[in-house]
Amino acid sequence: MRRTILTGAALLLAVTACGEQTAAPDVPEGAPEAEQSPREEGGDPQATSSPGDGASPEGQASPEGQASPGGSEEPHVFNRHGDEDGFADVRPTDYVATEFTTFSDMEWSEWSNEVARGEGELLGTWCMDVGCQDDPYDVEVELGDPVEADGTTYFSTYTITDHDDDMSAETRQAMQEADGGRLSVPSSG
């Protein structure tokens, strides 16, 4: 009986371990071993990624094969997530768009030279009275109107193209009054 239990346990362990194997991704030479903010490493303050945001570090190709900063310029957003001075970012998961509006848990379905489209959660100072900090609105958003600032192209506007049914007309009006659909871009100079 003891032998049967040990054999069964060993077989179960082997089968479980085999099912968990995954191939290691091919990492280009010189690529960082883990995604870490260049700010945490004491690196370039204009670097483009923050922990876990899926952004492409400067000089490396983005997941879709488009070049990052320094290559063929794809537009950025000016993100203040974790950095009040802001930094250029591409496809951020968490995006502090303005002093009033924040997008979180973003998944981008398109990021081109003219427009970016994605879905995620929306919250801001304009909806604190209805508790959106604890229960953000599910939205679809479109970024557009690229402008150049300090030699980098940034999206400068956003439009909410779809939202939760519980986002009232008053809340949408408060959002519009807060930042008018304008995104932060760095000031030149």
Other Cβ atoms less than 10 A from the Cβ of 79: the count is 24
Binned at pLDDT 50, 70 and 90, residue 25 comes out as: very low
Q: How many whole angstroms separate alpha carbon 104 and alpha carbon 185?
A: 19
Q: Inform me whether the pLDDT recorded for 12 exceeds 50.
A: no
Query: pLDDT value at position 72?
Result: 55
What are the contacts of 179-183 at 24+ separation with CB within 8 A? 179/97, 179/98, 179/99, 179/100, 179/101, 181/157, 182/98, 182/156, 182/157, 182/158, 183/77, 183/78, 183/97, 183/98, 183/143, 183/154, 183/155, 183/156, 183/157, 183/158
- Reported as a single tens digit per residue, the pLDDT across 87-115 is 999 999 999 999 999 999 999 999 999 99
Q: Where are the beta strands (DSSP E) in the chain?
A: 77-79, 87-89, 95-96, 101-111, 116-124, 137-144, 147-149, 152-154, 157-163
The stretch 121-134 carries a mean pLDDT of 95
> What pLDDT is attached to residue 187?
84
Amino acid 94: pLDDT? 97
pLDDT tens track for 31-63: 444 443 333 444 444 444 444 444 433 333 344
pLDDT (tens digit, 9 = 90+) per residue, 129-188? 999 999 999 999 999 999 999 899 999 999 999 999 999 999 999 999 999 999 999 986
Phi, psi of 175 (to 5 degrees): -65, -45
pLDDT at 8 over 80: no
| Residues 6 or more apart whose Cβ sits within 8 Å of residue 53 | 81, 89, 91, 92, 93, 94
User: By C-alpha distance, which of 110, 108, 105, 109 is closest to 123?
Assistant: 105
Q: Is the pLDDT of residue 26 over 60?
A: no
Alpha-carbon dihedral 131, 132, 134, 136, rounded to 10 degrees: 160
Query: What Rg do the C-alpha atoms of the chain give, in angstroms?
Result: 21
The residue that leads in pLDDT, 75 or 14, is 75
